[in-house]
A and B are shown apart, each in its own frame.
Chain A
C-alpha cells in the first residue's frame, strides 16, 4: 500500500488538502498577492533561526555579549545570526508592503474585517519582536537604542513610569531588562504571533482570497440588493472565472525564494552587526534606533515643549487605533483606489510621511561633527582658520550643519553669510532669539575670528 494512502486511510485529510489546493481563486490576483505568503515565510524563517540561536544565547548582562560573540565563532553561527538579523528587517518591509497592498485594494472590506484587524495587531507584534530582539546582543547600539526606545514609551502621560518599570523590569536598563526582553521575545510574542497567524490564515481560507478591485465590477447592480448578497454574487463570478489556488502558489514560491536569496546574501556579505559591549557609562555615544524606528526618533525633533509626551502618545495611540479600525471607518462599497480618493490620499500621505521621516532620520549625522575635515582650509586666512577652530571647539557642529557635517537641531550654516550680515550673526550668537543657547562669554578675539570665518560661508 502506498504510504500516502496508508496515512490518508488513518487521517483522512487527502480530500481537504485537495480541496484546499484546487479551490478556485479569482483570476486577477497577481504578484501583489504574494506579499502575505512572503511575510508568513519570513516568520517561519525567524522562528527556525531564532530557536537555533536560543540554544547558545545567554540572557544575562554578564554573558549575553560573549555568548553572541561565541555564536558568531561557531560553525554556521554567523550565517544563522545574519539570516535572523536581515530576515527581521525583511519581515518589517514585507509586512508593511502587505498592509499597503491590502489597504490600497481595500481588501479589508466585507467580509474580511476581522482578517484586517488581526493582521494589524500582528503588525504591532512584529514591531514588538523587532524592538525586544534588538536589545539581546547587548552591544552599545542595542543598549542605547533601547534606553531611548523605552524612554519614549515611558514618557506616556500618567502610565509612563509603570510602562518603563514593566518594560525594563525596574527603573534602569539592567540585566533584569535583558531577561525580560528575552522572555517577551521568545515566549510571550511568539505565543501571541502564532495565535494571531492562525486566526488570520483561517479567515483568509474561510473567506477566500479577495479579488483585485475592478473599476467596473463583473456583475451588474440589482436594485435593492443587500451588500451581503451583492458581494456573494460578485465573488462567485470572480471565482467562476478564476483558476485553481495551486497555480498562485507558484508565484508565492518564486517571491519567497528571491527574498531568501537576498537575505542569505546579506547575511553572508554583511552579516549581523555587533558593536562594542554595552557600556552604560559611554558618554559621547550617539544612540541610533534601527531603521524601522527612525521615523519615530526623527519625530521627536519636531515635537517638543511641555506637551511633547502627550503629543507623542496621542499620535501613537490614535494612529494605531485608526490603523486597527480601518474597515470600520472606510465602509463604502467601492474598492478601487481611484474610486476611494480620500482613503487613497490619506494612505499615500501616511506612506510619504513615514518615508520622509525615515529618510531624514537616516541622513541625520551621527557623531561626525568634524567640520574641519570637510572645509577647504587652504583658501582661508589665518584669522578665518582660527575662526574655524572656534567653531569646532565650541561644539557648534553639534547643532549646525556646515559643508555637509554636523547636527540638524539648528539651521544649516553652509551658506549663512548669504542670509545674514556679520552683525546679524554676532547678534544671534550672543543673544539668540530662539532655542539656541547664548554664547555671550566668547572671548572677543574668538568672536571676531568666528565671524570672519562664517562670513566666508556663502
Chain B
C-alpha cells in the first residue's frame, strides 16, 4: 500500500548478517522462508538422495509432504501405545464417582475404611468428654488392602451410645480439637466449630464432621466403615 509511496527498507529483504542469523528481530523470518523455499525446490547442493534422475520439483514436494505426514501418523501411534498404559497406571488410584452438584462443597471424607476395628473397652471413654484415639484400620488404596494410621474422636453423649468422629474439619481438612470449655470441636485454620455430636455449628465447613460406624459389642467400642451421607 503506502510502502510504494514511502520507500522504507523492507525488513523481510534485509540481507541477514552473522548477528541477525543468530538472533533476528521480528520479520527475521526471511531466512526461514528462504530456507523453506530452498527445500521445496530441493535444489540443495550435495549428492542426490535418490539415485537416478531427480523427479520434478513438484513431485518431490508431494513426496516429502506425504512422508512427513506419514511419519507424524506413525509417531502418534507409537506415542499412544506408550501413553495409554502410562496414563492408566498413573491414574490407577482414582476411584469414586464425580460429584456433580457444582456447590456440593468441601472435601471428600479422608479415609474409607473396611471392616471393624476395636478401639478399646467402653469404660475407657468417659461420658460427655470426647476422647482422641489413634487407630490402625484396614483401608483399600488403589485396589491394595493395607493398614492406615488414623485418629478418631470417640464420643459418648450418653451411657449406651457411642459416636466415632473423623478428626478432619470438613472445610479444608485441618485437624479439629475438642475444647472442653466451649464444648465444641474447634478448627484452628478458618474458625470452623462443631457440636459434640459432630453437627456443624459455625464457620466455613459445609457439612457436619464425618462419622464412622460405631458398634458396642462385648463391652468394647468397634469402629466400622465411614458413614456415607445420602
Among the 9-residue stretches B51-59, B117-125, B156-164, B180-188, the one with 4 or more Cβ atoms under 8 Å from chain A is B180-188
Cβ contact within 8 Å between B18 and A19: yes
Query: What per-residue 1/0 map shows which CB atoms of B171-187 lie under 8 Å from chain A?
Result: 11111111111111010
Task: Report A421 CB to chain B, min CB distance, Å.
Answer: 24
- Check A235 against B191 for contact (C-beta < 8 Å): no
Decide: A437 and B175 in contact? CB cutoff 8 A. Answer: no
B63 within 8 A of A: no
In the assembled complex, B132 has its CB within 8 A of some CB on chain A = yes
Interface of B is mostly: loop
Q: Determine whether A285 belongs to the interface, using a CB cutoff of 8 Å to chain B.
A: yes
Interface contact A161-B96, CB-CB below 8 Å? yes
Q: Are A280 and B151 touching (Cβ within 8 A)?
A: yes
Stretch at the interface among A43-51, A88-96, A144-152, A327-335: A144-152
- B188 and A367 form a contact (CB under 8 A): yes
Does B168 count as interface, using CB distance less than 8 angstroms? yes
Q: Which residue of the partner chain, among B90, B132, B202, contacts A437 with CB atoms under 8 Å?
A: B202
Taking CB atoms, residues of chain A closer than 8 Å to B179 are 394-395, 398
Task: Tell me, in angstroms, the Cα distance from A8 to B228 when the chains sit together.
Answer: 70
Give the nearest-CB partner of B193 in chain A: A437
CB–CB A308/B105 < 8 A? yes
Q: Are A309 and B96 in contact (CB under 8 A)?
A: no
Assuming A161-B98, A174-B141, is B91 touching A166 (CB within 8 A)? yes
- Interface segment, B34-42, B65-73, B142-150, B214-222? B142-150
User: Contacts A144-B175, A170-B142 hold; do A162 and B27 have CB atoms under 8 A apart?
Assistant: no
- CB of B25 within 8 A of CB of A158, answer no
* Residues on B with beta carbons closer than 8 Å to the beta carbon of A22: 19
Total interface residues on A, CB under 8 Å, equals: 83
Q: Does A24 make an interface contact (CB < 8 A)?
A: yes
Find out whether the CB atom of A394 lies under 8 angstroms from the CB atom of B181: yes
B residues near A410, Cβ cutoff 8 Å: 191
List residues of chain B with CB within 8 A of the CB of A205.
22-23
Is B48 an interface residue, CB under 8 A from the partner?
Answer: no
Task: Say whether B79 faces chain A, with CB atoms less than 8 Å apart.
Answer: no
- Whether A23 is near chain B, meaning CB under 8 Å from some CB there, is yes
What is the minimal beta-carbon distance from A191 to any residue of chain B, in angstroms? 13
A309 touches B103 (CB 8 A): yes
Stretch at the interface among A220-228, A317-325, A350-358: A220-228
Instruction: Determine if A307 is an interface residue (Cβ-Cβ < 8 Å).
Output: yes
Given contacts A283-B151, A399-B191, contact A176 B93 (CB under 8 A): yes
A194 interface contact, C-beta 8 A: no
CB pair A155–B102 under 8 Å, yes or no, is no
- Closest residue of chain B to A244 (Cβ to Cβ) is B19
A300–B21 Cα distance when bound, in Å, is 52
What residues on A are CB-neighbors of B175 within 8 Å? Answer: 144, 282-285, 287
Neighbouring A residues of B104 by C-beta, 8 Å: 157, 309
- Given A164-B108, A165-B96, A232-B26, A158 and B102 contact (CB-CB distance below 8 Å): yes
Q: List 24 A-B contacts (CB under 8 A).
A: A147-B168, A147-B173, A158-B100, A161-B98, A161-B99, A162-B94, A166-B91, A168-B93, A170-B141, A172-B150, A206-B24, A208-B24, A225-B3, A228-B26, A235-B25, A235-B26, A283-B176, A301-B190, A306-B105, A395-B186, A398-B188, A398-B191, A399-B191, A437-B182
Chain B residues engaging chain A, CB cutoff 8 angstroms: 1-3, 6, 8, 10-11, 18-19, 21-28, 90-91, 93-112, 132, 134, 139, 141-142, 148-151, 167-168, 171-184, 186, 188-191, 193, 201-204, 206
The chain A residues found within 8 Å of chain B, CB to CB, are 15-16, 19-20, 22-24, 110-111, 144, 147-148, 150-152, 154-155, 157-162, 164-166, 168-172, 174, 176, 205-208, 222-225, 228-229, 231-233, 235-236, 239, 280-287, 297, 300-301, 304-310, 367, 390, 392-395, 398-399, 407, 409-410, 435-437, 439, 441
